[in-house]
């Protein structure tokens, strides 16, 4: 299981556009201040308890005008999250590249940039960095069971490392075929009733499994999930565009999507092969290399080359177009982005400015080039 949290700003002001310069992004003072801000925010959220939601308005008012960040409800729950979240699988990339050991402050730099850009959703899982991480993030990997199970103990350990009493959202990562759904829902309900989490969600669950969890929750007066984490990008559309919308309208389950750049494929850096410094050139990513070099991979690169022309027409980069395109979907509460350096992260965050440019005409042009739009009951183009 993985744990995610939304760090909610309560009246803390973000800088105006351009204020966090490259020097600020890398200075020790900046990362030190970031730690203090995150701790302050977390402690305020902890002490305010049920009054937390009222302060989301402050974050929207103080940050949106300065950074352009937009905030959406997580599904139909009352929790508001930034439409762009920081997916901390970036730490896995950094660790593989051995950058964390040489430059331990890189992670804090990335979190600082994200925070000052209005991001309030930080997604984490212990598997991403084997538990060796800054005190600013939650690190845990939990398993199923009863009230005194590793699920209960594991989350308590995570909270102790974060020095927090609760997280906003705890995700069940993949279902366990050996565990009855009722037991899973009861375990998550127990975690929430014990005050260790406010909500729970699913990750990589099928629509049928999510619906089963909801039905079990209603049958036994338990707490249902509020969102699903799902892969969503130019080349992965079926689940988010055809299956999850039904759940959103019927039971209020929202989407937190991940991999908007398809593990870097959509950046365009693989157009002429596999660069030595790229992720696909590393041994743990042999599967990605094979995918890129396959016939389908070459076809995708050809389509991306055409999509680059659309991005140029809109005055943005291809990654920015891809991320903004994901956010055109009304059922997507937040898109998790990840970068291994400040420059990439700043570029990705710039996708916020591109959202208004994804008109019906542009979306149709993208669909035409991709040629993979799934049959859907609802048109998600704004």
Summarize pLDDT for 132-191 with one digit per residue, the tens: 443 232 323 344 443 445 566 667 776 776 667 778 888 888 887 888 999 999 999 999
Q: What's residue 72's pLDDT? A: 92
Please name each of the domains of the chain with its CATH number.
2-370 (3.20.20.100)
Which residues, in sequence order, are bridge partners of residue 171? 2, 201
Q: What's residue 129's pLDDT? A: 41
Q: What's residue 161's pLDDT? A: 64
Give the rounded percent of residues in the chain with a pLDDT score beyond 90.
45
pTM of the model: 0.79
Annotation says 128 is catalytic: yes
Give the rounded percent of residues in the chain with a pLDDT score beyond 70.
67
Mean pLDDT rounded to a whole number for the chain: 76
Tell me if 164 sits within 8 A of 134, measured CB to CB. no
Closest CA to 149 of 192, 200, 184: 184
The number of CA neighbours under 13 Å toward the Cβ of 49 is 4
Region label for 264, one of left (φ > 0), alpha (ψ between -120 and 50) or beta (otherwise): left
Measured CA angle at 173 (ends 170, 178), to 5 deg: 120
Spell out the residues 6+ positions from residue 119 whose beta carbon is closer than 8 angstroms to its own: 69, 82, 84, 85, 86, 349
Query: 91, 115, 128, 232: which is the annotated catalytic residue?
Result: 128
Q: What's residue 382's pLDDT? A: 43
Closest CA to 325 of 270, 365, 276, 297: 365
pLDDT of 35 > 50? The answer is no
Q: What's residue 364's pLDDT? A: 97
Look at 312 and 104; give whichever has higher pLDDT: 312
Closest CA to 78 of 333, 273, 363, 365: 333
Most confident segment among 99-103, 105-109, 317-321: 317-321
Closest CA to 373 of 231, 238, 266, 265: 238
Summarize pLDDT for 272-323 with one digit per residue, the tens: 889 887 888 888 889 999 999 999 999 999 999 999 999 999 999 999 999 9
Q: What's residue 104's pLDDT? A: 53
């Amino acid at each position: 299981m993985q744990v995610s949290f939304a760090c909610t700003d309560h009246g803390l002001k973000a800088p105006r556009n351009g204020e966090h310069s490259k020097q600020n992004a890398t200075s020790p003072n900046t990362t030190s201040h970031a730690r203090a801000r995150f701790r302050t925010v977390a402690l305020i959220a902890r002490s305010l308890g049920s009054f937390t939601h009222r302060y989301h308005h402050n974050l929207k008012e103080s940050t949106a005008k300065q950074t352009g960040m937009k905030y959406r409800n997580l599904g139909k729950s009352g929790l508001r999250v930034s439409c762009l979240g920081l997916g901390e699988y970036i730490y896995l990339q950094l660790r593989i590249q051995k950058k964390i050991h040489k430059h331990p402050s890189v992670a804090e730099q990335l979190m600082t940039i994200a925070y000052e850009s209005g991001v309030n959703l930080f997604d984490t899982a212990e598997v991403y960095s084997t538990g060796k991480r800054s005190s600013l993030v939650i690190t845990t990997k939990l398993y199923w069971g009863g009230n005194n199970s590793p699920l209960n103990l594991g989350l308590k350990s995570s909270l102790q490392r974060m020095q927090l009493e609760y997280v906003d959202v705890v995700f069940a990562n993949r279902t366990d075929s050996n565990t009855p759904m009722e037991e899973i829902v009861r375990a998550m309900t127990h975690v929430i009733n014990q005050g260790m989490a406010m909500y729970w969600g699913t990750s990589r669950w099928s629509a049928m499994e999510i619906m089963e969890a909801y039905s079990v929750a209603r049958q036994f007066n338990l707490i249902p999930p509020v969102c699903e984490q799902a892969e969503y990008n130019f080349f992965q559309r079926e689940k988010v565009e055809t299956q999850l919308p039904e759940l959103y309208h019927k039971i209020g389950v929202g989407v937190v999507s991940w991999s908007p750049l398809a593990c870097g494929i959509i950046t365009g850096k693989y157009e002429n092969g596999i660069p030595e410094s790229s992720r696909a050139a590393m041994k743990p990513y042999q599967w990605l290399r094979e995918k890129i070099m396959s016939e389908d991979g070459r076809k995708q690169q050809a389509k991306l080359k055409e999509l680059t022309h659309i991005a140029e027409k809109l005055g943005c980069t291809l990654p920015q177009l891809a991320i903004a395109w994901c956010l055109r979907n009304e059922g997507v509460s937040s898109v998790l982005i990840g970068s291994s350096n400040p420059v990439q992260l700043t570029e990705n965050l710039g996708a916020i400015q591109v959202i208004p440019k994804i008109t019906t005409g542009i979306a149709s042009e993208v669909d035409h080039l991709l040629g993979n739009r799934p049959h859907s009951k609802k048109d998600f183009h704004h």
